[in-house]
Chains A and B, each alone.
Chain A
Amino acid sequence: MNQASPLLQLKQLTVAPKKTPARLLVNQVSFSIDRGKTTCVVGESGSGKSLTALSVMGLLSKQLQLTSGQVLFNDGESGEQDLTQLDEAHLRKIRGAKIGMIFQEPMTSLNPVLTVGYQIGESLTTHLGMKGDLLKAKIASLLEMVGIPPSRANSYPDELSGGQRQRVMIAMSIACEPRLLIADEPTTALDVTVQAQILKLLDELKTRMNVGMLFITHDFGVVADIADDVVVMFRGQIVESGTKEQVLNHPQHPYTKALLACVPDAEGKNALKPIDYAWLPENQRSPQASNEILVAVV
């Protein structure tokens, strides 16, 4: 086992639309994730945080391309692999099995005509060839692990609440005991109380299964609750990265400071502040630049 290299290492990752390769949506992004640690990627809409996650999985849309960079994944078994160099067949073996992904909207990312039990079992059958009673037992234990009564395996997604659906998504993503979990704003669509439960659940799973987690969010409150390391992205680039303590308590970059300052505090001690772009050169302050990026992606 090669434990020396980190679980996931992004090196100089760059993503651009095929039609306009000069517009860098993700620009020279490098960071790494260790086993059993959570790295939070924070940024506003259009900062490239979701694209970074999608390029790890090789799930970029056809209009976009990875212009350069490496995604080095080391699961401790098959040595270090560059995911950007793998073909679709190999990637398919890694997705779901070695890398699990939790998407933002639990309402739209489950198939409404299949029971949740079937959807959880699908990757177990595909990757591990489980079936019959063994599969049923595994699905039941997974549901229990995420706090849903195993009898709900025969329910359809519309019979579950938003929080329960997100738990089902989590059960699906951890079914094959992946080494890495990618969670793209997994709690943004949920109520605060449910959000607190889901964050606690993810944190427990991280410790119990020793998985590394790439967690995408725009909420520094969530970062404070779940992160070990933090990466702050702005318009496609990393502006600051470090441990949670460094970034939250001693932010160095003016953007990190501005972003932290505009999070409303629950005590009401600090006045509300709009985000401050005064640190940017005058001609780049309009948010138009990032808006153009948004349009290009959609």
Chain B
Amino acid sequence: MTSAILVANHLVKTYTQRSGKFGFGTTLVKALDDVSISLTAGKTLAVVGESGSGKSTLARCLLQLQPLDSGEVLFAGQDLAKLDRAALRLVRKNLQMVFQDPFASLNPRMRVGEIVGEGLVIHGLGSEAEQQQKVIAMLKRVGLTEADMQKYPHEFSGGQRQRVGIARALVLQPKVVVCDEPVSALDVSIQAQILLLLKELQAEMALSYLFISHDLRVVRHIADDIVVMHQGKVVEQGSVVDIYQQPQHEYTRNLLAAIPGKKAVNA
């Protein structure tokens, strides 16, 4: 029996956008239009779609980094939207995020050790020595060294920075990790390393991933289930195998057809 660890029901989020000459007019953009998803414990749910399809908004709303207009987000039976700040902070320990751009998402003035250990300090987990130990263990686990703690983000390559981002998210031993395009800024050759690391960590720490991506080649390898989003709506969802073999919706078929490298397969 599989159980859902994170469930979102009928999420709605609208943005107001300036429009017209000099931005005097306004238009409403529906970034999330009645979106419902369910993440199974220990599995990876991929959210795919183009820019503007609302997939990053979904991620941010799930973690309550942005307020919702309506709808509920249930984590282990608790509605996150109804929690106050203090209670939400406690829950956040279990909900972490790996961001897209490893060049912009790490504070350039903090040492890597501080970046990774910050969550432990905020949540007051363990003594200083224990925190130190946890940070070192986590850095080693993601393929960095103890000496890297003293370095600043700019001293690392893109792939290494993304490892720091992963260590930062996982040091709190969360239950759910939202990965917002974690490899799209990386070279193809580095992508595979990071994806494999994420997979290994998932098995070791029993993590559930919400994996946001526009690259269907990557999704094929990491996801168990897929949600396809288009203009704020979920147009199709199902298991990876079903969607790749029998896409039902026109938009999904377009996405699959746009994967580069089709010609090589035929050559």
Q: Which A residues fall within an 8 A CB radius of B?
A: 44-45, 161-162, 191-196, 199, 218-225, 244-245, 248-249, 258-259, 262-268, 272-275, 287, 291, 294
Contact in complex: A221, B189 (CB < 8 Å) = no
Report the separation of the CA atoms of residues A245 and B266 in the bound assembly, to the nearest whole angstrom.
11
**Most chain B Cβ neighbours within 10 Å, of A225, A259, A265, A272:** A272
Report the separation of the CA atoms of residues A248 and B266 in the bound assembly, to the nearest whole angstrom.
12
Residues on B with C-beta less than 8 A from A291 are 157
Chain A nearest CB, measured from B38 CB (Å)? 23
Q: In chain A, what residue has the closest Cβ to B53?
A: A191
Contact in complex: B195, A249 (CB < 8 Å) = no
B158 at the interface (CB under 8 A from A): yes
Provide the B164-205 mask, 1 if CB < 8 A to any CB of A, else 0.
Answer: 000000000000000000000001111111011001000000
Q: Which B residues fall within an 8 A CB radius of A?
A: 50-52, 157-158, 187-193, 195-196, 199, 214-218, 220-221, 240, 244, 254-264, 267
Q: In chain B, what residue has the closest Cβ to A196?
A: B258
* Known A273-B192, A274-B193, A287-B157: A263·B263 in contact at CB below 8 Å: no
List 6 additional A-B contacts (Cβ < 8 Å) besides A196-B257, A225-B260, A266-B216: A192-B216, A192-B260, A249-B264, A262-B188, A264-B195, A272-B199
Residues on B with C-beta less than 8 A from A191 are 50-51, 214
Report the separation of the CA atoms of residues A3 and B217 in the bound assembly, to the nearest whole angstrom.
42
Report the separation of the CA atoms of residues A262 and B159 in the bound assembly, to the nearest whole angstrom.
15
* Known A218-B187, A275-B189: A267·B263 in contact at CB below 8 Å: no
Contact in complex: B187, A221 (CB < 8 Å) = no
Chain B nearest CB, measured from A72 CB (Å)? 31
Report the separation of the CA atoms of residues A263 and B254 in the bound assembly, to the nearest whole angstrom.
21
Q: Which of B192, B220, B262 contacts A275 (CB under 8 A)?
A: B192
